[in-house]
Amino acid sequence: MKNNTEIANRFREVILNGTWIANTNYKDQLQNLNWEIAVTPFQNLNTIALLAQHIHYYINGINNVFKGGTLDIKDKFSFDFPPIHSQQEWENFLIKFWNEAEEFASLVEEMPNEKLDQAFVDEKYGTYKRNIEAMLEHSYYHLGQIVLIKKLLTN
């Protein structure tokens, strides 16, 4: 199996369909979650909705680079999203999240293996591979938070 296919499948595992690392994934945790729980704050923690939108923000921004665009995302804006006010808005966001996550995985899969070792936008950001692996690790980090917050809010 090619390196890029392996990495793409690891990304699908954390967002869309895997259980090997965390015994769950974003889709499993979020797809049947009531929007009111998703936007409910617990103490001073980010809401489940904000954490999901945060990960989506980075996926979308990196997709833009993969498709030949510029790197426009900024950490300072990575939690700035309009509030979700209904189940329909929540479900619309999730559809977009799943679709853009699959697009991310497909773009990685289609990427020539040699590109994985090339500089991502600028040498200061490291390689494509480093950024893709950082997206995986970042996603698992926030998935753990989502699982814990969901347990705190639903138990």
Side-chain-side CA neighbours of residue 91 (13 Å): 5
Query: pLDDT tens string for the chain (155 positions)?
Result: 578 999 999 999 999 999 999 999 999 999 999 999 999 999 999 999 999 999 999 999 999 999 999 999 999 999 999 999 999 999 999 999 999 999 999 999 999 999 999 999 999 999 999 999 999 999 999 999 999 999 999 98
Q: Which of 47, 61, 35, 22 is nearest to 139 (CA)?
A: 22
Q: Which of 92, 11, 74, 84 is nearest to 48 (CA)?
A: 84
Q: Which of 30, 23, 45 is nearest to 149 (CA)?
A: 45
Name the token pair of 101.
């996550």
**Whole-structure pTM value:** 0.96
Place of tokens 């309009």: 82
